[in-house]
Amino acid sequence: MPGSIRYRGNNKWELRVSVGYDDNHKQKRVTKVIYAAKKKEADKALASFYLQVTGKIIEKQDIKFSEFVDCWKQKHESRLGIITQASQNQMLENRILPAFGHIKLNKITPDMILRFILELTKDGARMDDRHQARLSNTTIQKYFKLMNQILHKACEWGYILRNPCDAIPADMRIKSKPNHFPIWRQEDLSRFLTILSSLDETYSNMKNILMFYVSLITGARKGEFMGLTWDRVDLTHNELAITQSLKFIKGLPVRLDTPKTDSSVRTLYFDDFTRDLFIKYKKMQDNWLKEMKATNPLHLVFVAHALDDNGQARFVNGNSFFLWLKRMCIKHHLPRIAVHSIRHMAATYALSSGIPLNMVQAMMGHTSITTTAIYLHDIPDVRKNECKKLANRIQQLRDKDSSN
């Protein structure tokens, strides 16, 4: 039920109901103080008070879903990152507004939402080149969450009495599992590192090798290491300052922006081997820019292998590193992994090396340690070795007991 309750002591409760926003976008509330022996009674009083307060408002706000979305975006969108904005706008324009935009906000029912979700589960629901494949449960769940979020605000702001998504039983909602990117086992990673050491030291190879090591050693996201500038690389103390990220948004120019979350602004550390790679690569980049008579005004660490019309270095292509990694896997018969898999390996191998979980969380830039747990994979060889340690410890205890 929208609204809130505050207990003031001595069986006194304060009921609060939002009635929208004023011209300065400040939330307006109506309050009422009641006396009730139990919270259950206060909840019933809140429900009655909410209906009493919002009944007239609903009559005035009898608008279409598309009209409310415009209002919601105006108040809500500025708080979102540009990638989240682009993703939500795409979901709205492609599917949600065509399905619900013409319907009165207070006429949307749980059954309509269920039918919408059901359509998304069918083969051919994709809108890209993979027409034969169905949408993933994760994608479908994102559509439901966005609808739920919008309708929750409609309820909170007094446009509707209740959120129809709340009436959909939990067992009828699409559930998704975290996308557990595949990682390499120790022998595969070891072989790949050996392969990297044998590659010719060309400028292109060095760029990709350095990106791999930065991702593996620091756990940085793709946009974070591709958005690095030389002023954020401290080769004296082996530190990277993650204060910006390269944003790749379909249909929009590549741009530098703030990192994903506040926790993503952090200092990352690398080893001497990676420092030497940085130094070697910097010399190669300087020579390449000199040879091309080009400039690097943004002081980008990683740049595309082509210049813009003004003879300046461009942002690196977002797919270039993935394509290199894909070719290397195919050529050397290694299990296929994604760029994000390297970040998963960074977290997994860091934890298995003895780094505490909270330190791994800080390295990854996660707000919640629950998110970090999603990145942790089972490494059979490590687990087998740890089992031997446990068995040895138990054997010691047996030997000690038998000697007494």
Let me know: does 337 contact 177? Beta carbons within 8 Å.
no
Let me know: does 265 contact 188? Beta carbons within 8 Å.
no
C-alpha of 377 from chain center = 18
In the prediction, which pLDDT does 394 show? 66
Which of these CATH numbers, 3.60.15.10, 1.10.150.130, 3.20.20.70, 3.20.20.150, describes 65-172? Answer: 1.10.150.130
Tokens representing residue 316 in the block: 């690196």
Given the structure tokens 């790679």, which residue do they identify? 277
Domain ranges of the chain: 4-60, 65-172, 186-380
Q: Is there a shared CATH topology between the 65-172 domain and the 186-380 domain? A: no
In the prediction, which pLDDT does 56 show? 43
What is the distance between the alpha carbons of residues 193 and 204, in angstroms, rounded to a whole number?
A: 17
What is the distance between the alpha carbons of residues 233 and 212, in angstroms, rounded to a whole number?
A: 16
Calculate helix-pair angle for 203-218, 339-352, nearest 10 degrees. 50
Contacts of 230 (CB under 8 A, 6+ apart): 282, 299, 300, 301
CATH architecture of 186-380: Orthogonal Bundle (1.10)
Q: What are phi and psi of 3, to 5 degrees?
A: 100, 175
Buried b (16+ CB within 10 A) or exposed e, 364-374: bbbeeeeebeb
pTM: 0.67
C-alpha dihedral sign at 354, 373, 240, 197: positive
Q: Which amino acid is at 388?
A: K
In order along its 404 residues, the chain shows pLDDT tens digits of 457 888 888 889 898 887 777 767 677 788 889 888 888 788 777 766 776 676 544 333 568 899 889 888 877 776 777 777 888 888 999 999 999 999 998 899 999 999 999 888 887 767 665 555 678 888 888 999 999 999 988 887 778 888 999 988 888 787 766 666 789 999 999 999 999 999 999 999 999 999 999 999 999 999 999 999 999 999 999 999 999 999 887 777 888 888 888 889 999 999 999 999 999 999 999 999 999 999 999 999 999 988 888 888 899 988 999 999 999 999 999 999 999 999 999 999 998 888 889 999 999 999 888 888 888 887 777 777 777 777 787 678 677 766 65
